[in-house]
Chain A
């Protein structure tokens, strides 16, 4: 029933680490990154983030689709902030114009649009892009390197009660399964002549046309859910504190990783409070603007 994420056993040091330590590391890194806007600091975090993929022996080919999706989204957001200049509100207050892109007038509204390219917008765009890439790297690697069978016991180990640890585990693992089911249903309906792109009729008819996609996937999932619930009941789920098939024990290397993660987070917080790592613009870029 359950389809796994793109996990594969690779026998690397990253996979030997306790998943709880991995999650703590990820969270500490994420909460450290968001305290900075300095591109140089961002590049350091990006190097750590991408370095994990090298250590975990994950090739670009394996993660290409995810990176393309994430990259497209990050580029879109960065360009939007760059063009409108709104993304940096609160990060910088004044702008130094380097040059103007050719202005044009909107055909209907008659409004003249000008695009000033400023040192702040360029640096904010680069920082934002690096920041989001680094954050994405820390998150993307998890499903590729954490055994899906360990999600439940990991969430339990991080402090969630049994029921919610199991619910979160199941929800996480259901996503790729349901994504696959939807894709199969869509293909099956298309083979029967269903055209998602072609909508005819009024509002009611058009909404009704979506039922052949929604109903089979939902009902199929519920029927499978009943089987899972029965299997859990047969194993006396929820009657007493449960045991887990796979036990997790912190090794020395896990404790070292947790110590480093917490250390990085505390250091980042202290540096941030002291005013380090704020938005940075190289002197030469500002001189260009003034010159």
Chain B
């Protein structure tokens, strides 16, 4: 177990080193220590989770995990870069960010360590290639987005507790939607001016509806895909939620700006993108896995 714990320490050290190098290479945009505090908080949360379930095989890092960590991070980085570079239209206010499906997919299939590395290192790589600099709390958030779907491997039966998880995910989306309905006008995080975010309440309801639909329709055809939809949505909520809340201290946003102005416009498009692309990707993967006998 000590060896595995050391693996985590090295993993965090590698990520922090990557963040610092990218920070220097992009002109040194990181200021203050709050970013480091939130990287540490994210790391501690993951370590607590790990220590509580350390004996489970889900945390193992073998040859396949090493390869897929590298592959996932490179794939997420390249997709982020490509879809940032190619002018992608947005539908109404929903940005087309197809890359988010990658850390969720890798986490769900190859485990939480692979999902975390794919999300965190891939996001650092993608932002660097796109020339956007480094945002450590968002890197950790992307890591969590990949880690949470991987937690499904902690359960011997993937379908177990799926009902509870569906209720929790949908309840969270409804709570956020109600928050926006009650308080639609907040200070925008980018403009600093009062903006109307009521669109995002409806978008969250559509996203939640899509997840429920996916979960119950796909359950009959492909239970694994249905499970992935719910875990993926939870991963987005936890990951983007972590990064948005961190911005209250890092960027000095109010709680409402962080939740309504930042979390909703980031999380809802991610859930929509995930809910549509993840089943397609999983079905393709399972078909290939069946054909190759893996």
Q: Do A and B bind each other?
A: yes
A contact set with B: CB distance below 8 Å: 27, 30-31, 33-34, 70, 73, 77, 90, 128, 131-132, 135-136, 139, 160-161, 163-164, 166-172, 174-175, 177-179, 182, 196-197, 199, 202-204, 206-208, 210-211, 213-215, 217-219, 221-223, 225-226, 228-229, 232-233, 237-238
Q: Is the CB of A167 within 8 A of B276?
A: no
In the A-B complex, the 3 residue pairs with the closest CB atoms: A174-B74, A170-B70, A171-B70
CB pairs A–B below 8 angstroms (18 shown):
A34-B28, A135-B24, A166-B66, A170-B67, A170-B70, A175-B74, A178-B75, A203-B206, A204-B210, A204-B276, A207-B273, A214-B281, A218-B102, A221-B71, A221-B75, A223-B292, A225-B67, A238-B66
B164 surroundings in chain A (CB, below 8 A): none
Q: Is the CB of A179 within 8 A of B78?
A: yes
- Find B131's partner among A73, A175, A226 (CB 8 Å cutoff): A73
Name the residue on A nearest B18 (C-beta). A168
Q: Which of B67, B131, B206 has the largest number of chain A CB atoms within 10 A?
A: B67
Interface of A is mostly: helix
Given that A178-B75, A207-B273 are contacting pairs, would A229 and B25 also be in contact in the complex, using a CB cutoff of 8 Å? no
Given that A135-B25, A178-B74 are contacting pairs, would A214 and B67 also be in contact in the complex, using a CB cutoff of 8 Å? no
Q: Is the CB of B91 within 8 A of A206?
A: yes
Question: Once the chains are docked, how many angstroms separate the CA of A66 from the CA of B72?
Answer: 24
B64 surroundings in chain A (CB, below 8 A): 226, 229
- Find B78's partner among A168, A175, A222 (CB 8 Å cutoff): A175
A169 surroundings in chain B (CB, below 8 A): 70
- Find A233's partner among B63, B105, B131 (CB 8 Å cutoff): B63
Interface residues of B in 57-115 (CB under 8 A from A): 61-64, 66-71, 73-75, 77-79, 82, 86-87, 89, 91-92, 94, 96, 98, 101-102, 105
Task: Report the count of interface residues on B (CB-CB < 8 A).
Answer: 57
Q: Is the CB of B61 within 8 A of A163?
A: yes
Given that A167-B70, A171-B121, A203-B94 are contacting pairs, would A182 and B82 also be in contact in the complex, using a CB cutoff of 8 Å? yes
Given that A135-B25, A164-B14 are contacting pairs, would A232 and B272 also be in contact in the complex, using a CB cutoff of 8 Å? no
Q: Closest Cβ of chain A: how far from B208's Cβ, in Å? A: 14
Q: Closest Cβ of chain B: how far from A270's Cβ, in Å? A: 19
Question: Once the chains are docked, how many angstroms separate the CA of A166 from the CA of B66?
Answer: 8
A33 surroundings in chain B (CB, below 8 A): 24
Question: Once the chains are docked, how many angstroms separate the CA of A206 from the CA of B64?
Answer: 34
Q: Is the CB of B272 within 8 A of A207?
A: yes
Q: Is the CB of A225 within 8 A of B71?
A: yes
Given that A179-B78, A182-B82, A223-B292 are contacting pairs, would A27 and B21 also be in contact in the complex, using a CB cutoff of 8 Å? yes
B11 surroundings in chain A (CB, below 8 A): 164
Q: Closest Cβ of chain B: how far from A69's Cβ, in Å? A: 8
B10 proximal to A (CB < 8 A)? yes
Name the residue on B nearest A30 (C-beta). B24
Question: Once the chains are docked, how many angstroms separate the CA of A174 from the CA of B277?
Answer: 23
Q: Closest Cβ of chain B: how far from A165's Cβ, in Å? A: 10
